[in-house]
């Protein structure tokens, strides 16, 4: 056994001693939530592992697996090098409880518009228990004030969507218009500052056209939109 393997084994043994404390913490939290929502999350088994790429999970009952919560000791334990803050640890436990809720309580129809594991039903459950409605862990999320109304609002019922969509269509139409070349090489241009010039080169770009115009021996690059707005010819 290498030194690294030995250290890793000692770490795992030390973290496993925290399992009774963590289990009690989780079950006490879930008991409080159960009483509030008339559920039985605290009765579901809680298991622990040493995953490095997953903080926690909730698994539903199936033909192949028993219902359970699962958490990685490498994240939730107190004895790791960079333990989660108290707030983030509780938020993680709530995050998984919200998954349990979405499958074990009635979700109003208006919160079923977004499918997926972290869809609108799960976000609705997060709003009920004060969990961060974000699918992935980010340090400090538990301390933020979350705008649940915004994340729960369906595009179908969001009254600002038509306004935003109209603006986006207008912007797209203007962009397409700006990309149409209005000049050709050799055209004469009169500029209020630089005087008379001749278009020598035309560059197409996203959202516009750049004209390279020679004024008295000096070439200037001018956006076609600027000339069109001022109707310089």
Distances in whole angstroms, Cα of residue 62 to Cα of each of 55, 67, 105: 22, 8, 18
With beta carbons less than 8 A apart as the criterion, state whether 154 and 114 touch.
yes
> Which helix (DSSP H) or strand (DSSP E) does residue 12 occupy?
helix 3-16
Mapping DSSP to helix (H, G, I), strand (E, B) and coil, where does residue 83 land? coil
Among all chains, which residue has been given the structure tokens 């050709």?
184
Q: Position of tokens 């560059």? A: 203
Name the pTM for this structure. Answer: 0.63
Query: H/E element holding 70?
Result: strand 68-72
pLDDT tens sequence for the chain (233 residues): 454 466 678 889 999 999 999 999 999 999 999 999 999 999 999 999 998 888 999 999 988 889 999 999 999 999 888 888 899 999 999 999 999 999 999 999 988 888 888 999 999 999 999 999 888 777 777 666 777 777 777 554 444 445 445 556 666 777 777 778 888 899 988 887 788 889 999 988 777 888 899 988 889 888 877 776 544 44
Q: Is the dihedral of CA 145, 127, 75, 39 positive or negative?
A: positive
Q: What are residue 187's phi and psi, to 5 degrees? A: -65, 145
Domain boundaries, the chain: 3-152, 188-230
């Amino acid at each position: 056994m290498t030194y690294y393997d030995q250290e890793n084994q000692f770490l795992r043994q030390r973290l496993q001693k925290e399992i009774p404390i963590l289990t009690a913490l989780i079950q006490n939290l879930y008991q409080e939530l159960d009483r509030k929502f008339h559920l039985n999350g605290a009765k579901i088994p809680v298991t622990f592992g040493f995953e490095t790429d997953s903080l926690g999970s909730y698994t539903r009952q199936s033909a192949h697996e028993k219902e359970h919560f699962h958490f990685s000791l490498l994240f939730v334990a107190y004895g790791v090098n960079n333990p989660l803050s108290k707030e983030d640890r509780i938020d993680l436990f709530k995050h998984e409880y919200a998954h349990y809720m979405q499958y074990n309580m009635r979700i109003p129809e208006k919160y079923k518009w977004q499918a997926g594991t972290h869809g609108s039903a799960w976000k609705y459950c997060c709003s009920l228990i004060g969990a961060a409605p974000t699918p992935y862990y980010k340090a400090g999320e538990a301390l933020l004030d979350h705008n649940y109304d915004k994340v729960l609002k369906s595009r179908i019922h969001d009254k600002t969507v038509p306004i935003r969509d109209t603006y986006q269509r207008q912007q797209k139409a203007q962009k397409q218009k700006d990309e149409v070349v209005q000049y050709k090489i050799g055209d004469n241009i009169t500029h209020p500052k630089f005087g008379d010039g001749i278009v020598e080169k035309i560059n197409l770009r996203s959202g516009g056209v750049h004209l390279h115009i020679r004024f008295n021996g000096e070439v200037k690059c001018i956006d076609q939109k600027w000339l069109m707005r001022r109707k310089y010819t």
